[in-house]
Amino acid sequence: MSFTLQVNDGIASIGRDAWDACAAPTGDPFVSYDFLHACEASGSAVPSQGWAARHLSLHDEDGAVIGVMPLYLKGHSQGEYVFDHSWADAYQRAGGRYYPKLLGAVPFTPATGPRFLVKPVTFVVTPEDAQRLSGAAKNADDSSPSGPGSALRFGRDDEEGGARSHAIREALLQGALTLVERLGVSSLHVNFPTEPEWRAMTEAGLLPRRDIQFIWRNEGYGDFDDFLAALSSNRRKTIRRERREAQADLDIHVLTGADITEAHWDAFFAFYMDTGDRKWGRPYLTRDFFARVGASMADRIALVMAFRDETPIAGALNFIGRDALYGRQWGALEEVPFLHFELCYYQAIDFAIARGLSRVEAGAQGEHKIARGYLPSPVYSAHWIADPALRDPVARYLDNERPAVEAEMDAMTADLSPYRAR
């Protein structure tokens, strides 16, 4: 199979249909065309803000897009949540030029997800093939665990499709590494990939890094009380008290789809700007970003809003994936005890249980999440640094950091987990 690799300075040049043919099968909302296009078209992730798109697209012999990779030329390390500021500082004090660098990631989104997106294998089935497949289904063992037709395997799970997908991912990675060389930049960083992608990049020679996030996992709970029953008595009492105090005199609603109006986005943007000004100094996302995701992704959004006398005072934005709820931004114009926990963590758990989602990923940092049922979990990044003068000390640093991170994760789980011993 021959490939043609293209570098694109905006996702629009690839197009929604071609991009989503590769991204949509993952079920990840953040690698969708609509999310990434909103980042770019809204002025949030653009060259003037230090995000210059260099997305890769891989084309087959007929010119069809069969793989893509979100990729940015970065002029700083902001909005990434994988901290390499000390590497940049050391390299620049030694006379090196760390920025720009190449980044494979989703802007402003510390959520694990695929970074090498592959169009699923499809087959052209002749009438003769269809007849044979029908006969195979009819003749399948009815006593098998999955019933008739269970022996049939389609798509990229088959041997040929798996090999093809691997080749495409490998070509995208090699393309990104080649781009580092051709652009003459310092490094390539792939942030928050899936664990299999991370292991593959490690095998390819990239430096592996681990970090910690706090994730709630659905153990088949029927409702929130069912979840509480899995906790220690003290934690149950504390969470119930926090929810009572947070909900007092407020109306809390989870909005999705057509229920989300521009008035809701106006209110949420005010919350976001207030919190951003106080915590980060400069919020990353524009009002137009929220308008765009609201118009194109409303059915993949769960917007939690708190109202006092019909006036919105606080909100939390979540994106809905195939099997996970992802908490992103939040803000409030009033100080209400425990309202942050209620909107960002407890309402998210309620929603995930109701939707049958397997987990809630509540974003970066926050050891306080453990007491609310969000346990430490590993997240990953992989790094290629061109200059051995920087790569070698970073490699030694990471060799020491990984066991320390693992030990910290184990200690936090053992010491702080709210769950009853099983």
| Residue 25, domain member (yes or no) | yes
Which has the minimum average pLDDT: 36-40, 121-125, 129-133, 335-339? 129-133
Confidence (pLDDT) at 159: 52
Confidence (pLDDT) at 276: 61
Residue 258, pLDDT > 80, answer: yes
Mean pLDDT, residues 407-421: 95
Assess whether 298 and 265 both reside in one domain: yes
Mean pLDDT, residues 148-164: 44
| Residue 143, domain member (yes or no) | no
Query: What is d(CA 140, CA 117) in angstroms, rounded to the nearest whole number?
Result: 34
Sequence-separated contacts (24+) of 87-95 with Cβ below 8 Å: 87/385, 87/390, 87/394, 90/390, 90/393, 91/186, 91/387, 91/390, 94/389, 94/390
| Residue 258, domain member (yes or no) | yes
Confidence (pLDDT) at 40: 98
Query: What is d(CA 191, CA 234) in angstroms, rounded to the nearest whole number?
Result: 37
Confidence (pLDDT) at 127: 52
Assess whether 303 and 385 both reside in one domain: no
Assess whether 18 and 42 both reside in one domain: yes
Assess whether 20 and 115 both reside in one domain: yes
Residue range(s) defining the domain that contains residue 177: 4-121+158-210+379-413
Assess whether 187 and 241 both reside in one domain: no
Assess whether 197 and 276 both reside in one domain: no
Assess whether 224 and 204 both reside in one domain: no
- 419: exposed, middle or buried (Cβ count in 10 Å: 0-12, 13-18, 19+): middle
Assess whether 223 and 195 both reside in one domain: no
Quote the number of domains for the chain: 2
Q: Strand pairing of 251-255 and 207-217?
A: unpaired
Query: What is d(CA 246, CA 240) in angstroms, rounded to the nearest whole number?
Result: 10
| Residue 181, domain member (yes or no) | yes
Sheet (strand 4-8) strand order: 4-8, 55-59, 65-69, 117-118
Residue 209, pLDDT > 70, answer: yes
Residue 66, pLDDT > 80, answer: yes
Confidence (pLDDT) at 365: 82
Confidence (pLDDT) at 122: 57
Coil, strand or helix at 278:
helix
The backbone torsions φ and ψ at residue 18, rounded to the nearest 5 degrees and listed phi first, read -65, -45
Residue 61, pLDDT > 60, answer: yes
| Bridge partners (DSSP) listed for residue 406 | none
Mean pLDDT of the chain: 90
Confidence (pLDDT) at 90: 96
- 54: exposed, middle or buried (Cβ count in 10 Å: 0-12, 13-18, 19+): buried
Confidence (pLDDT) at 279: 55
**377, two tokens:** 């979990």
Assess whether 44 and 71 both reside in one domain: yes
Mean pLDDT, residues 376-401: 97
Confidence (pLDDT) at 152: 23
Confidence (pLDDT) at 259: 98
| Residue 366, domain member (yes or no) | no
What's the distance, CA 336 to chain centroid?
29
Assess whether 202 and 225 both reside in one domain: no
| Residue 83, domain member (yes or no) | yes
Assess whether 197 and 285 both reside in one domain: no
CA-wise closest residue to 36 among 4, 64, 59, 8 = 8
Query: What is d(CA 307, CA 325) in angstroms, rounded to the nearest whole number?
Result: 22
Confidence (pLDDT) at 277: 55
| Residue 17, domain member (yes or no) | yes
User: Who has greater pLDDT, 161 or 381?
Assistant: 381
CATH number, domain with residue 10: 3.40.630.30
- 159: exposed, middle or buried (Cβ count in 10 Å: 0-12, 13-18, 19+): exposed
Confidence (pLDDT) at 162: 78
Query: What is d(CA 149, CA 136) in angstroms, rounded to the nearest whole number?
Result: 7
Mean pLDDT, residues 296-324: 97
